[in-house]
Structure 1
């Protein structure tokens, strides 16, 4: 019984570590996408209204992704 508990504990710790690494990767991807969108907006001199619209869309998609956790 103790051996099973130790195995479950190890598996749980491993899953938590994997989830943490996944969340860090997603965070880096979002930072990259966010910087790319801002760069493109500045590069093409998109109007302020379009920049705000894109940022709202990005925020909504991030909210949806993080609500799946």
Structure 2
């Protein structure tokens, strides 16, 4: 398997990943505040959302080949 950069696989520049990370932390606090959940439960919800997004991007990458 040839090694590719993360930006080549996803099509997203590297600096955008940092922006997405900061946004994800903000969204996680919003989830915990809005639903008045424990931060642990909001983290679980957020991780499942990230995993779904990861699956979708992998599927799109396979389809684009």
**Fold in common (TM above 0.5):** no
TM range (shorter): 0.3 to 0.5
TM-score normalised by structure 2 residue count? 0.43
- Which structure dedicates a bigger proportion of its chain to helix? 1
